[in-house]
Amino acid sequence: MGNAGQSGHLYKINEIFYSLQGEAFWQGTPAVFLRFSDCNLRCPFCDTEFLSGNIMSVAEILENIAQYPARRVIFTGGEPLMNDTFPIASALKSAGYILHVETNGMFEPGHTLFDWVSVSPKNKRLKIIHCDEAKILLGRGEAAELFGLSANHYFISPKNPTHSEKIGSAGSVLTDAETLQYCIEYVKQHPQWRLSVQLHKYLGIR
């Protein structure tokens, strides 16, 4: 548990939920997802509603996460590293959790408490230049662009329907067949990459 100053820190949290990691290296692994509100980017292809949220203290976040049996917590967003994550990360670490972060790489964590750093770069203004896994969202006709990032593992993730498309009347959460086929062929032609579909969407879970 952090000190009094740390536990008094407040965060705007979009949601906390328990599921399986659907993507990339840890696909299929149970984890608690700690989704921070807001993002410094507004990517037109974003598939996540990240604007809403509730203000929560470190203690409230810890209490919420403790109801689940998994000892792995994934910081995601939005962009989690827009926040000072040290207070919540140090409190979770002290409680024995393994910590992952999913980020666009434009902010440095400011500490070394994350056990796994996953970067999905969107432009060359990167502050993180090496990470555990790089995930590139790829649409039809596009090439995977790392913007100078290096990683231990490289994943291509087919672009999904956007958040606004999903909530449309004919919305589907699944990648269209043409985009999927394009990404399959792309990985076959560029074998340094691996394909990562969002398994949770195909399973119909969160």
Q: Which of 93, 100 has the CB closer to ligand SF4?
A: 100
Of the ranges 9-17, 72-80, 88-96, 180-188, which one interacts with ligand SF4 (CB under 6 A)? 72-80
Q: Which of residues 94-113 bind ligand SF4 (CB under 6 A)?
A: 104
Q: Residue 122, interface with ligand SF4 (CB under 6 A)? A: yes
> Which residue number, 2 or 105, has a Cβ lying nearer to ligand SF4?
105
Q: Are the CB atoms for 64 and 73 separated by under 8 Å?
A: no
Q: Which span (51-59, 75-83, 92-100, 174-182) binds ligand SF4, by CB under 6 A? A: 75-83
Least distance to ligand SF4, CB of residue 120, Å: 6
- Interacting residues with ligand SF4 between 1 and 60 (CB under 6 A): 39, 41-43, 46, 48, 50
β partners of residue 54: 13
- For the bound state, the minimum distance from the C-beta of residue 117 to ligand SF4, rounded and expressed in Å, comes to 15
- CA quadruple 13, 67, 59, 20: dihedral, nearest 10: -40
CB of 77 to ligand SF4, least distance (A): 5
Contact 49, 38 (CB under 8 A): no
Look up residue 43 and give its two tokens. 């990517």
CA atoms within 13 A on the CB side of 83: 28
Which among 101, 85, 89 has a CA at the least distance from the CA of 21? 101
Among 144, 143, 145, 138, residue whose Cα is nearest residue 179:
138
Residues whose CB is less than 8 angstroms from the CB of residue 39 and which lie 6 or more positions away in sequence, other chains included: 46, 50, 77, 78, 79, 82, 104
Instruction: Based on the shown chain and the rule CB under 6 A, indicate whether residue 199 belongs to the binding site for ligand SF4.
Output: no
Region of 107 please: left (phi>0), alpha (psi -120 to 50) or beta: beta
The residue (of 38 and 115) whose beta carbon lies closer to ligand SF4 is: 38
Choose, by CB under 6 A, the member of 23, 79, 132, 133 that binds ligand SF4.
79
- Which parts of 124-183 interact with ligand SF4 (CB under 6 A)? none
User: Which residues are at the interface with ligand SF4 (CB under 6 A)?
Assistant: 39, 41-43, 46, 48, 50, 77-79, 104, 122
